[in-house]
Structure 1
Amino acid sequence: MTRVVIHAGFHKTGTTSVQSTLRANRALLAPHLRVYLKADFEALTDATRAYCAAPDSDEALSAVGRYAMRFFRRIARDDPRPVLMSCEDLSGHLPGRRRHPGYHAAPQIMSVIAENARHRFGEALDLVFFFSTRDSDTWLRSTWWQNLRSTRLTDDLDRYATRPEVATDLMQTVSAVAEAVAPARVVSEPLDLSRDRPEGPLTPLLDLVALDPEIRAALTMLPPVNAQPVAGLDEVFVALNRSALSEENLREAKKALRRIANEQGQ
């Protein structure tokens, strides 16, 4: 039996912290767990985001299946170690990014990935999809901040909240994925719960792969990554995005302010 756990989202729910910790502990985990992060299947995430942007394209959906199978073919079927994939881009684009819609395409994407996993591993497959979630208000503010820092978004939070592409119900998406991938299991846990568990938001994934307690105890845990600074930079970034600064100068200004805020937070 091959246990495959796919951590496919969502953005801004502790995923970067999870992946940073997995990356930092890869050598320790290797004898017990096969870890795959975005760099290991980037062609697949390119395809999932392309399909998210063009959900009516049969060609884009076929590409998701093609690259999923190419990835799964690299995974030995006779290796007893569980498989853990983690990348939020498997669910599509961050909602609000360049006006791309939310996770409307996630159920179809996961269905195609599940179909190809079954084709590769057959009856020996034990497939689980995991989604980290967050309460809607906090998640909306966090996606707003991420888009503020990464793009030239000029909306304040109130205006951003009215944009239809960010009106995403995470638990509704989880339910739709569960229906689409059955009989594979779908598990979810809110960040507010997982962050207080022994290994933080990585904990539910370690539970799903049944990692040995001694190995878990030896993990090097990292502090949260990519969290929003508490220095009130959001309104400053709105003003910067609305300014006449060139793209290069805007990037440098944001970078400098984030560095100062992080140093102050430490």
Structure 2
Amino acid sequence: MTRVLLHLGLHKTGTTSVQKFLEDNRAAIEPATEVLLPDRTREISRWVWRFYQLGDPDVLQVIREDLQQQLAGLQLSGRDLVISDENLLGPMPRAEDSDPYPAAATLIGTYREAMQVLPEPLQLTVCLTTRTPQDWATSIHAHLARKIRAVRLTEDRDSFTARLTRNGFARTLAAIRAELPDLDLHVNEMETLIDQPFGLAQVFVDFLNLPDNRMLRPATHRHRSPAPGLIDRLIALNRSDLDEDALATAKQALLLDASEGAPAKEYQR
């Protein structure tokens, strides 16, 4: 049997932390499980963004074929497969739609079709992580506010989070369950996972079922949101009349100063 764990976010629910856990523990994991992280699924996620922009079913066919080609090239030899990339669910929500991931069910169905190229029998589990709606919305607002390029968020935190919380991920989960009723869907609360022995990575440890977990390095929390005061200053910069290059320079300087000398990461998406 080929077991597949498809981890699709949600955004801002510790996805970077668990992907770092998988990367740090490759030596222990890969004898039994192939691991595909965003560096290997980036081209597919770009097509996912294109599908959100165009809504063109032909793009879904490209996604299906590209994933089939990638999966067919894997040398599993009886190993399982873990795929973790939140961007395969769609762009980070911007509180513009009643459903933050309106194409989620369609995309998951497309991935499931593509996986038919894997050795049978196939057992697919789709994993989503959630967090309390207010914390989730606040973290997304902070992430979008600090982006150096591509996004120039000017909306204040309260109005953004109120709308995203109102149009929260419950709609996405309901749509997935309605459109894919036979899907093996696991939804885990971030707040519950944190208390587990391996923290946010506990879902992966349970799936891997390794003979000895003592060799695994624990997951550490990464990309914590900046303080609210810093977010307010970033929003003020976004509202300024600075051109894109000047804005990028000003935001990088502000983030560098706030981190006391640590280089500011340039978020491109």
Q: TM-score range by the shorter chain?
A: 0.7 to 0.9
2:155 aligned with 1:155: yes
Q: CA 1:204 to 1:226, structure 2 compared with 1: closer, same or farther past 3 Å?
A: same
Partner of 1:211: 210
Classify the secondary structure of the residue corresponding to 1:130: strand
Kept after mapping to 2: 8 A contact 1:111/1:177: no
The Cα shift of 1:182 comes to 4.7
Classify the secondary structure of the residue corresponding to 2:118: helix
Kept after mapping to 1: 8 A contact 2:41/2:85: no
2:237 aligned with 1:240: yes
| Distance (whole Å) between structure 2 residues aligned to residue 61 and residue 209 of structure 1 | 30
- Tell me which protein shows more helix as a share of its residues: 1
Q: Give the TM-score normalised by the residue count of structure 1.
A: 0.87
Classify the secondary structure of the residue corresponding to 2:197: coil
Partner of 1:135: 132
Classify the secondary structure of the residue corresponding to 2:65: helix
The Cα shift of 1:31 comes to 1.6
Kept after mapping to 1: 8 A contact 2:2/2:122: yes
| Distance (whole Å) between structure 2 residues aligned to residue 124 and residue 91 of structure 1 | 25
Partner of 2:172: 173
Alignment map for 1:1-266 (pairs within 5 Å): 1-55=1-55, 57-76=56-75, 79-96=77-94, 102-117=100-115, 119-121=116-118, 123-150=120-147, 151-161=151-161, 168-212=167-211, 214=212, 216-230=213-227, 232-263=229-260
Q: CA 1:160 to 1:179, structure 2 compared with 1: closer, same or farther past 3 Å?
A: same
Kept after mapping to 2: 8 A contact 1:8/1:89: yes
Question: In the alignment, residue 235 of structure 1 is paired with which amino acid?
Answer: D
Q: Give the TM-score normalised by the residue count of structure 2.
A: 0.86
The Cα shift of 1:241 comes to 0.8
Kept after mapping to 2: 8 A contact 1:72/1:120: yes
Q: CA 1:199 to 1:71, structure 2 compared with 1: closer, same or farther past 3 Å?
A: same
The Cα shift of 1:191 comes to 0.9
Kept after mapping to 1: 8 A contact 2:142/2:226: no
Kindly report structure 1 stretches of 4+ aligned residues shifted beyond 3 Å.
161-164, 178-184, 259-265
The Cα shift of 1:179 comes to 4.0
Q: CA 1:194 to 1:162, structure 2 compared with 1: closer, same or farther past 3 Å?
A: closer
State percent identity of aligned pairs: 28
| Distance (whole Å) between structure 1 residues aligned to residue 152 and residue 22 of structure 2 | 31
Question: In the alignment, residue 115 of structure 1 is paired with which amino acid?
Answer: E
Partner of 2:266: none
Q: CA 1:136 to 1:264, structure 2 compared with 1: closer, same or farther past 3 Å?
A: farther
Over the aligned positions, Cα root-mean-square deviation in angstroms equals 2.5
Structure 1: gaps of 5 or more residues: none
| Distance (whole Å) between structure 1 residues aligned to residue 216 and residue 255 of structure 2 | 29
Aligned length: 258
Kept after mapping to 2: 8 A contact 1:130/1:205: no
The Cα shift of 1:43 comes to 2.0
Classify the secondary structure of the residue corresponding to 1:6: strand
Q: CA 1:111 to 1:254, structure 2 compared with 1: closer, same or farther past 3 Å?
A: same
| Distance (whole Å) between structure 2 residues aligned to residue 193 and residue 261 of structure 1 | 30
| Distance (whole Å) between structure 1 residues aligned to residue 217 and residue 253 of structure 2 | 29
